[in-house]
Amino acid sequence: MQHSDLKSAGYGDEAPIAALATIPGSCALTVIRCSGAGSIELFSSVFAPSNKKTLLTEAEGNTVIHGWIVSKEESEKIDEVVISIFRAPKSYTGEDSIDISCHGGHSAWKAVMAVLKDAGYRDALAGEFTFRAFMNGKIDLTKSESVIELVNAKTDVSRRHAVSRLCGSLQKEINDIKALLVQVLATAEIYLDYSEDEISADFDAGASDEIAGKLPNKEIARDALKKLKKLSDSWLLERLYQQGVTIVIAGCPNSGKSSLFNSFLKEDRSIVTDIPGTTRDWIEAFVSVEGIPVRLIDTAGLRETNDSVEKIGVQRSRTLLQEADIVLYLIDGEMGITDDDYEFLALQNTEDKYIFIWNKSDIKPSPDGYISISAKTGQGLAQLFSTVAAVIKKQTDVFQLFDEPNAASIGIGTERQKKLVDSACSLLKEALVMSENNEPLDLIAPLIREAVNSLGEITGEVSTADILEEMFSRFCVGK
């Protein structure tokens, strides 16, 4: 579908645009994406194909051509490239487009971008390629949002869920629910437009309630409400897989925090020495625990110190403990429970977020109430990882709502979608309550229509320029 009424300067125009589609840096290749009206013809002014007989302007879509980027004025060779040509409407944006594979050095791609801008391309805005794909009817808003979800996915589970939405699972579910509400609304409006005597007995399709007050096809409306509630609940799980939880590793100096941190990462990220106080500041990394993204933080050892730098690190550690969803508190099994440990434990309540770990259990067995591990040998780590996963699930309290939470399920992918689903839920609930109270149908029908419009906003069938620009501005450049 076209949204020509939404087009404005910047987002929504058809000017040729260009941007990096890969992360800048030193690598083998960098991909630069170009798109827009007349984009192929414009690019031909700065491209010299290696085969002199090849005419870029006559090249078919979905073809690859080797050649050189050349400066427009001096015909200086800038970089050797391979270009992929896509002709409208068979392209990501629905426009004529070119993907340039150039060398990945910083100087190389910057020189290519400079030539493109000199030729007449402008820098693409954040998310502008995906915006154009939406505007040209290539994808709906749920698929558009799944693109950035896929870019930001931190675990394989979050990736699978984003791919499911990119394949249209959420779009189909929303459209199916909307079709139910449209059926209810259409019947209601017919009842409003015609007298009871003018409506045939078999037209009703099961709506036997009196016209004066009750909503026709009420069971269909209840079925739609049930589906909307399930979608609304799905956001709790989807948000967990997207945003994850924060786990802080804490304990006295030399208790094995950094070794445990490295065990989670399966790499030597934190410096490990026998010298207490080696970790002066916190260090973090994302890991996956049963598909859930975990922001894992290794902190400075908790102790009283006169070292001004270490003191700052200890204070930051205490702040992180307050913000953490889960705290892994390590006891040095070789030293046993120290005065600093007792002081820390005395200040804590019995919140479920604390998991107490007895490290170096290969040297000295743990007392009751601790998970025994050896960060050095790996003993007990499997049990610890399982315990962490169990605590996450218990804290979030959403896994019981889903039969297969790790599967590529139909769920809401963004807070925007959640708000609109909740809006449709609220409107539909109000309509059903009013129906039970025998309120006039001409007051009930507008609520159903508003609910339909809320669902239309999720897919983009109903949208405004300011909402679209605000949404796509959150994307990365090149998408």
Half-sphere exposure of 387 (CA within 13 A, CB side): 20
Chain segment 32-46, per-residue pLDDT in tens? 999 999 999 999 999
- Helices (H) and strands (E) counted in the chain, each on its own, are 14, 13
- Residues 162, 291: contact at Cβ < 8 Å? no
Look over the chain and give the mean of its residue pLDDT values, rounded to a whole number.
81
How high is the pLDDT of residue 196?
52
Q: Flag whether pLDDT at 7 surpasses 70.
A: no
pLDDT on residue 302: 53
Q: Considering the chain, what percentage of its residues have pLDDT values greater than 70?
A: 80
**First-to-last CA distance in the chain?**
20
Confidence of residue 112 (pLDDT cuts 50, 70, 90): very high
Position 400 pLDDT exceeds 60: no
Q: How confident is the model at residue 173 (pLDDT cuts 50, 70, 90)?
A: very high
**Confidence at residue 119, expressed as pLDDT on a 0 to 100 scale:** 93
Instruction: Flag whether pLDDT at 207 surpasses 60.
Output: no
Instruction: Write down the pLDDT at residue 272.
Output: 40
Higher confidence at residue 401 or residue 324? Answer: 324
Which of left, alpha, beta for 60 (phi over 0: left; psi -120 to 50: alpha)? beta
Phi-psi category of 378—alpha, beta or left, where left has phi over 0 and alpha has psi -120 to 50? left
* Rounded CA separation 233/332 (Å): 42
Does the pLDDT of residue 280 top 60, yes or no? no
With a cut of 70, say whether residue 218 has pLDDT above it: yes
DSSP-derived 3-state class of residue 318: helix
Average pLDDT rounded to a whole number, residues 8-36: 85
Q: How far apart are CA 167 and CA 139, in angstroms?
A: 10
Whether the CB-CB separation of 418 and 232 falls below 8 Å is answered with: yes
CA distances, 391 to each of 155, 247, 289, 354 (Å): 19, 11, 11, 9
| Average pLDDT score over residue span 97-107 | 93
Residue 229 identity (one-letter amino acid): K
Report the pLDDT value the prediction gives residue 363, as an integer from 0 to 100.
Answer: 79
Three-state SS at 97: strand
Both tokens of 214, joined, read 């009750």
222 CB neighbour count, 10 Å cutoff:
15
CA 157 – CA 416 distance, rounded (Å): 21
Percent of the chain exceeding pLDDT 90 equals: 36
13-51 CB burial, b ≥16 within 10 A, e <16? eebbbbbbbeeeeeeeebebbbbbeebbebbbebbebee
List Cβ neighbours of 426 (8 Å cut-off, separation of 6 or more): none
pLDDT for 123: 93
The predicted pLDDT at position 298 comes to 85
Positive or negative: CA dihedral 383, 389, 392, 396: negative
Given this model, what pLDDT does residue 338 score? 80
Rounded to an integer, the average pLDDT of 396-417 is 68
What pLDDT band is residue 287 in, cutting at 50, 70 and 90? confident
Q: How do strand 326-332 and strand 354-359 relate by DSSP bridges?
A: parallel
Average pLDDT over residues 123-131: 91
How far is the C-alpha of 315 from the C-alpha of 305, rounded, in Å? 11
Pairing state of beta strands 326-332 and 245-251? Answer: parallel
pLDDT at residue 171 above 90?
A: yes
pLDDT at 240 over 60: yes
- Which one has a higher pLDDT value, 254 or 297? 297
> What average pLDDT does the segment 151-173 reach?
91
Range scoring the smallest mean pLDDT among 61-75, 142-156, 307-321, 464-478: 307-321
More confident residue, 315 or 20: 20
pLDDT at 244 over 90: no
Q: Are 189 and 445 in contact (CB under 8 A)?
A: yes
- Burial status of residue 8 (CB atoms within 10 A of its CB: 0-12, 13-18, 19 or more): exposed
pLDDT of residue 20: 94
Burial degree of 209 (CB within 10 A; 0-12, 13-18, 19+): middle
282 with 316: CB under 8 angstroms? yes
- Among 111-115, 194-198, 239-243, 332-336, which range has the highest average pLDDT? 111-115
Residue 282 pLDDT class (50, 70, 90 cuts): low
Instruction: Give the best-scoring range by mean pLDDT among 348-352, 359-363, 370-374.
Output: 370-374
Query: What per-residue confidence (pLDDT) applies to 307?
Result: 53
Structure confidence at residue 365 as a pLDDT band (50, 70, 90): confident
